[in-house]
């Protein structure tokens, strides 16, 4: 199923991320796609707030992957930036399959590289408006239960 949602500022983008975060469980994988500056990390910050993770969420561009531990007994967050990765071999070295069993995996730029990690990854395409730099359009492809929870 697919759903389009428009946000008009960073707070709304974080709120959308938080709303999705409340619907996720360990083993879920979210693939974020969008240009540089589209709001992928801002969205992930909102998602992380729902998971009550320890520490600040920043872009993992230079470290490739960062694990954020839960402050509760909930799942951890593994935040990956696959922008500089180009092969499945590079992805497999991250050992994401092990992490996914006890965490929620969010992968920026992961389309086509990590699609096979879980049976039904949640694909989110983020487009930002050329006229209003704060406006974002999210195209969310996810299982029906997730779409209903976000509607």
Arithmetic mean of pLDDT, 107-130: 76
CATH number assigned to the domain comprising residue 99: 3.40.50.300
> HSE of 121 in the Cβ direction (CA atoms, 13 Å)?
22
Structural domains of the chain, count: 1
116: domain range?
Answer: 2-150
Confidence at 12, pLDDT banded by 50, 70, 90: very high
Q: State mean pLDDT over 102-130.
A: 78
Please report the pLDDT score of residue 1 as a whole number: 92
Instruction: Tell me what pLDDT residue 50 has.
Output: 95
- Following DSSP, what letter does each residue of 109-139 receive, concatenated? T-TTTSTTSSSSPEEEEEEE-SS-TT-EEEE
Kindly report, residue by residue over 29-68, the tens digit of the pLDDT.
Answer: 899 999 888 999 999 999 999 999 888 887 655 555 667 7
Instruction: Concatenate the DSSP letters of all residues of 1-58 into one string.
Output: -EEEEEE-SHHHHHHHHHHHHTT--TT-EEEEEE-TTSSHHHHHHHHHHHHTBSS---
| pTM score of the predicted model | 0.84
Tens of pLDDT, residue by residue over 64-106, are 566 778 899 899 998 887 655 554 444 555 555 555 678 898 8
């Amino acid at each position: 199923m697919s759903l389009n949602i428009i946000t008009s500022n960073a707070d709304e983008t974080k709120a959308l991320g938080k709303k999705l975060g409340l619907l996720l469980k360990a083993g879920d994988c979210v693939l974020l796609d969008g240009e540089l500056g589209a709001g992928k990390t801002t969205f992930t910050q909102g998602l992380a707030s729902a998971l009550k993770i320890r520490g600040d969420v920043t872009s993992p561009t230079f470290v490739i992957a960062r694990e954020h531990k839960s402050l509760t007994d909930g799942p951890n967050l593994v935040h990956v930036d696959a922008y500089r990765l180009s092969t499945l071999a590079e992805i497999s070295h991250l050992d994401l399959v092990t992490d996914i069993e006890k965490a929620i995996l969010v992968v920026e730029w992961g389309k086509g590289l990590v699609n096979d990690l879980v049976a039904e990854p949640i694909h989110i395409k983020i487009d930002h408006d050329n006229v209003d730099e704060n406006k974002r359009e999210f195209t969310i492809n996810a299982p029906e239960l997730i779409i209903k929870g976000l509607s």
